[in-house]
Amino acid sequence: VGWIQVGISFFITLYYAAIIGWSGLYAVKSLNKAWGADPDTYFFSDFLQFDDTSTFSTNFVPQIALALAVVWIAAIIVLAIGVDKGIGRISKIFIPLLAVLFVIVVIQALLLPGAATGLDALFTPDWGALADAGVWVAAYGQIFFSLSVSFGIMLTYSSYLRPRTNLTGTGLTTAFANSSFEVLAGIGVFAALGFMAVQQAVPVDEVATSGIGLAFVAFPAIINEMAFGPIFGFLFFSSLTIAGFTSLFSLLEVVVSAFKDKLNLPRKTVAIAIGTVMALLSLALFSTTSGLLALDIMDKFTNNVGIVAIALISVIVLDWILRRVDEFSSHINAVSSFKVGTLWRISVINVTTLVLGFTLIQELITLIQEPYGGYTAAQVALYGWGVIGLIVVAAFALSLVPWRGNHPLDGPPGSDFGVDPEIRRVLHQPRKYNGSDKQHNEKGAAL
């Protein structure tokens, strides 16, 4: 289960780096609005030189390849430096910078003529839609994906926490910050869409789009109509680039830390080796004329099938097979300020199982009935089902590789899978953690 999450992060990282490269190039191209009067044709035909007739193209697009190479070089350097000096230091710079840039972008969007029209479309509720079960499932899926659940990111970063970290307090802070930033982004996006709708004298829903089309087609069209379009465009795409890098580092950390711990190798060695392999694969797949095709299919299957399936399996294993939910919640309550109880259990176990199960079944039925996105069966088989199959096979193979320089936690459930009872007792003591407590630090380090 754990290695499947590593595999999912591995493949998501491959194409995520490409999107960061596109954003960086568009930040520069915004200064002279290089896309001209037809952003749609420019993006697909001129920028990507997209060819949907080829399953695997060897025709490289020079500017895409160069941008992608720069992204990977930067990422490998940061990962090789380490968590504190690399990811930690970069995040302390990038996150505040991202917040400042995005606030500026949102303010600029709110000052556009027609911004109120877009905000009306965003905040006017459709109460009738609440009766549609699909809306609730979609909302659950949105927060599920936005919090990066089942990517392995949460597990990896949690391994760096101190033993008595306030889990629920940290979790609530993270969720609130994430949702707040999404609301801020929504305000900026819909204000800009409202401006575009007024300019074209059409309803907002006719100019609204999502995903790649929103960022690289709709927004350039909006920038063309703005008085200070180049400045707005530079700030917008710079924000996307910075946000992308922070996410890329977290995805890469999952892969690097997994192999580092498994093989007991120096971090720098693993970061350079794994990073180089991933960079070469990413360049081969996504800097060619078939790159968008591979990206679209791989994104669909890794997210809508891979992540949902592994999350569902994780919940089932935790509750139905290992029967460790009660112990899990007891540990959370022992170290947290906000306690979890019946409502938490119902939400995490029952509701999550039902929603993810329903989502996965519906997705599989749709994907089996007809090839995704109008692509050929061969294209979907290679980048969709093939990738999922490769992740599962690789995860099984890696789970059989013995740990080097480590001891497996093979104790029975009652012993917390090999964790020393004394350490466990310390963890559950209702006392506040004191960083100067040498004995406590030593036991936490042992854990």
Report pLDDT for 27: 93
Report pLDDT for 327: 84
For the stretch 193-247, pLDDT in tens is: 898 888 888 888 877 676 788 889 888 988 888 778 898 889 889 988 988 888 8
Greater pLDDT, 331 or 43: 43
Confidence label for 72 from pLDDT (cuts 50, 70 and 90): very high
Taking the CA atoms of 140, 144, 150 and 154 in sequence, report the sign of the dihedral they define.
negative
Q: 55: which 2 tokens?
A: 């399953």
Confidence label for 409 from pLDDT (cuts 50, 70 and 90): very low
Give the SS3 label for residue 83.
Answer: helix
For the stretch 2-27, pLDDT in tens is: 899 999 999 999 999 999 999 999 99
How far apart are the C-alpha atoms of 418 and 42, rounded to whole Å?
A: 58
> φ, ψ for residue 288 (rounded to 5)?
-110, 175
Confidence label for 83 from pLDDT (cuts 50, 70 and 90): low
Amino acid present at 334: A
Instruction: For 73-107, give one letter per residue: b (16+ CB within 10 A) or e.
Output: ebbbebbbbebeebbeebbeebeeebeebbebbbe
Report pLDDT for 267: 86
The answer to whether the pTM exceeds 0.85 is no
* Mean of pLDDT values over 365-392: 92
439, pLDDT greater than 70: no
Q: What angle do CA 45, 49, 51 make, to 5 degrees?
A: 100
- Stretch among 39-48, 203-212, 333-342 having the lowest mean pLDDT: 203-212
Report pLDDT for 243: 85
417, pLDDT greater than 90: no
48, pLDDT greater than 90: yes
Report pLDDT for 126: 85
With both helix axes pointing from N to C terminus, report the angle between 62-81 and 267-286 in degrees, rounded to the nearest 10.
160
CB count within 10 Å of CB 247 equals 17
379, pLDDT greater than 90: yes
438, pLDDT greater than 60: no
For the stretch 85-106, pLDDT in tens is: 766 777 778 778 878 888 888 8
Q: What share of residues in the chain are helix, strand, coil (percent, to 5)? A: 75, 0, 20
Q: Where are the domains of the chain?
A: 2-296
Residues 6+ apart with CB under 8 A from 165: 335
Confidence label for 436 from pLDDT (cuts 50, 70 and 90): very low
End-to-end CA distance of the chain: 22
- Stretch among 53-57, 63-67, 277-281, 380-384 having the lowest mean pLDDT: 53-57
DSSP bridge pairs for 288 = 60
How deeply is 279 buried, as exposed, middle or buried, from its count of CB atoms within 10 A (0-12, 13-18, 19+)? Answer: buried
Residues of the chain with pLDDT > 90: what percent? 32
29, pLDDT greater than 90: yes
394, pLDDT greater than 80: yes
Residues 6+ apart with CB under 8 A from 170: 161
User: Could you tell me how many helices (H) and strands (E) the chain has, helices first?
Assistant: 22, 0
Give the SS3 label for residue 339.
Answer: coil
For the stretch 155-184, pLDDT in tens is: 888 887 777 788 888 888 888 988 888 898
With both helix axes pointing from N to C terminus, report the angle between 229-263 and 89-110 in degrees, rounded to the nearest 10.
150
For the stretch 300-311, pLDDT in tens is: 999 888 988 998
How far apart are the C-alpha atoms of 336 and 332, rounded to whole Å?
A: 6
- Stretch among 44-53, 80-89, 224-233 having the lowest mean pLDDT: 80-89
Q: What residue spans of 302-431 are helical by DSSP H?
A: 308-316, 325-335, 342-345, 352-369, 377-380, 386-400, 421-427
Give how far Cα 164 sits from Cα of 160, 417, 426, Å. Answer: 12, 19, 9
Amino acid present at 75: A
Mean pLDDT of the chain: 83
